Structure 1
Amino acid sequence: MILVVGGAGYIGSHLVKELIKTKEVVVLDNLSTGHRWAIDKKAIFVQGDLGSEKDLVKVFEKYSIEAVMHFAAFSLVGESMQAPQKYYDNNVGATLTLLRVMRKYNVNKFIFSSTAATYGIPSVDMITEETATNPINPYGRSKLMIEHILADFALSYGLKYVTLRYFNAAGAYETAEIGEDHDPETHLIPIVLEHLLGQREQISVFGTDYETQDGTCIRDYIHVTDLAKAHIVAMQGLLSGQLKAATYNLGNGKGYSVKEVIETCERVTGRRAKVELAERRLGDPARLVALSEKIERELGWKAEIGLEAIIESAWRWHQRKSDTLASQ
């Protein structure tokens, strides 16, 4: 059985949808940002806190856990700047509690949801796993701290782990049963689609004077189902003994500018956006694009879903969510 901590959240719930096809899954989530309805009905759900040793012990006592997947971090960059203690308490402190309980029950396989924020503002166009890590906010620093902790636990306690550094997760499940549903929403694609559904008055583009082809920031977008599949191949690598300790970038290897994303949303939906040009945001790099050749070479994983298909899946989800709200 696989324990998915944070399995009611956006990425965690999509992982559970894929993982439940081949494995028994137990989800632990406190529902502070996740949703009960997003958890696949075939998974076992336990409501509890990552930082509560009592809650964790109940799960490890009752179920035979082979491996743990960890998605239960706070992840808003701006909030982390305003409330760093919240981020270090949950993202670092609570993860240490989880690792301590795993050691107590001799569970030594761990898959960690990390982030491109560990790289900070890179000096290269294409980011590899060897690119220097220099996070510029408490969120990124908290994730990098956990990466260091995992390496130390591997050396001293025999922990076997895979760290997966995401770039921009986007899109929704193919059936539109689940999708991105944050409050507040901070990601570009859902913000644009909500605007095109009439739920926002306009879209703000922060910075049009970057050294890019159209002056707007470039990001690497990866479909959430591609992300889920990467976690599964990483888990298989740990369970088979192929992997002991590894770090991989997860991205498409292609960069799309903010303007390109907005234009693609307009093309997919057949609707026009009202765009407001605004000043740059502090700490926004001009370009964040991943090279994911390492995981393709070692595990055979490659992102398969391109930007237009990502947006099409997200559009189906947002339309369904809008229709559901309208009927209530």
Structure 2
Amino acid sequence: MTWLVTGGAGYIGAHIVRALGDAGLSPVVIDDLSSGHEEFVPAGVPFARGTILDRDLVEQTLRAHDVEGVIHVAGFKYAGVSVARPLHTFAQNVEGTRVVLEAMEAAGVSKIVFSSSAAVYGTPDVDLVTEDLPKRPASPYGESKLIGEWLLRDQAVATAGSEHPLRHTSLRYFNVVGSADPAVYDTSPHNLFPLVFEALLEGRTPRIYGDDYATPDGTNVRDYVHVADIAAAHVVAAQRLTTGEPIEPAYNLGSHNGLSVRQIMDAMARVTGIGFTAEITPRRPGDPDRIVATGDVAARDLDWRNRYTLDEMVRSGWEARRAAR
């Protein structure tokens, strides 16, 4: 049984590819390498280099490998940058998803797991984010992910009476960290873990943007979840779609508790053995005090749980980054 992973040469996608293989499923990858790395794709996994905007390439790949379903990870994920580049963001995330769905319909492929985002909620003023919370995205990126979910919903309605009715689910996740393979690490120039790792490797002092938030230690509180847990949830979702079991249209992959930026910094110093006192700089506009989600529904259906401690998340990410030097 073969599953196509769009964006399978990226940090999250490459972990999903490995998790599929471990589960006895055969992955195939499409990636344009705009942010991914071909060396992240395991040896022996078929790899098509190109953009998901290329409908012919997507359809040909689906047909050539007799693909059962798609795990759609490819996209432009930088919320802050999306404000300056909304047209690029919508081209990659909205048009890209539309093209993937069109190619799937043409090839008779009717199952899709969509990598969505907590950005669909915007900045909710609640202690715990649940799936039924109103969607108020605060960036073009968040809007593009919400539209992607709508595209899946509408295509499922449109194909309900066809030979290949679309079955789908969207997984909304937050801050993905760590590594489950020393050959794969987070290369994002915007995420907290790689920013701290690069600072420490270069002898610079990591920064905290604001320490006057309404949280116990004054720094932002967010969900941080290990990439291996995220990958495992995608595989279970794919299996559930294949077996025909009931599945929700969307799931939060949340930690339920959250961690503060200062807690992350303390763990970074503890695990790496590099002592430092983070530099406090002004807040970034629009950063809310706290965003933490439950994972209760995903725990019920997708065997979702947080299997890693904070120190384990830091250690796995740090070791993978150092192995790449």
2:179 equivalent to 1:172: yes
Q: Distance in 2 between matches of 1:71 and 1:159?
A: 18
Which one of the candidate residues 51, 54, 57 is aligned to 1:55?
57
C-alpha spacing 1:61/1:300, structure 2 compared with 1 (3 Å): closer
- Secondary structure in 2 matching 1:66: strand
Q: What is the RMSD of the two structures over their aligned residues, measured on CA atoms?
A: 1.2
One of 273, 278, 297 as aligned partner of 1:275: 278
Equivalences, count = 318
Residue 15 (structure 2) pairs with residue 11 (structure 1): no
Distance 2:174 2:59 in 1: 33
* CA displacement 1:54-83 (0-9 Å, x = unmatched): 211221231201000011110111210001
User: Distance between the aligned counterparts of 2:40 and 2:269, measured in 1?
Assistant: 27
Deviation at 1:40, TM superposition (A): 1.1
Identify if the C-alpha distance between structure 1 residues 65 and 55 changes in structure 2 by more than 3 Å, giving closer, same or farther.
same
Of 176, 199, 204 in structure 2, the residue corresponding to residue 195 of structure 1 is: 199
User: 1:83 maps to which residue?
Assistant: 85
Contact residue 71 and residue 112 of structure 1 kept, 8 A: yes
Deviation at 1:245, TM superposition (A): 4.6
Asked whether the equivalents of residues 66 and 109 of structure 1 are also in contact (C-alpha less than 8 Å), the reply is yes
Contact 1:196/1:272 (CA < 8 Å) preserved in 2? no
SS in 1 for 2:294: coil
CA positional deviation for 1:260: 0.6
- Contact map agreement 2:207 2:280 (CA 8 A) in 1: yes
- Confirm or deny: 8 A CA contact 1:195 1:203 kept in the other structure: yes
Match of 1:325 in 2: none
Question: What is the DSSP-based 3-state SS (H/G/I as helix, E as strand, rest coil) of the residue aligned with 2:249?
Answer: strand
Q: Give the Cα separation in 1 of the matches to 2:248 and 2:127.
A: 26
What is the identity percentage for the equivalent residue pairs of Structure 1 and Structure 2? 37
Give the conservation status (yes or no) of the 8 Å contact 1:196–1:273.
Answer: no
State the alpha-carbon separation in 2 of the partners of residues 82 and 150 from structure 1: 27
For residue 46 of structure 2, what is the aligned residue in structure 1?
A: 44
Question: TM-score scaled by structure 2?
Answer: 0.95
Q: How big is each residue's C-alpha offset from its partner over 1:221-264, in whole Å with a ceiling of 9 and x where there is no partner?
A: 10000000000110111000003552101122221111110001
One-letter amino acid of the structure 1 residue matched with residue 93 of structure 2: N
Q: Is the 1:165–1:248 Cα contact (8 Å) retained in structure 2?
A: yes
What's the TM-score once normalised by structure 1's chain length? 0.94
| Deviation digits for residues 2-21 of structure 1 (CA, Å, limit 9, x no counterpart) | 11000000100011111112
In structure 2, how many angstroms separate the alpha carbons of the residues matched to 1:61 and 1:263? Answer: 50
Choose 41-50 or 236-245, whichever is displaced more.
236-245
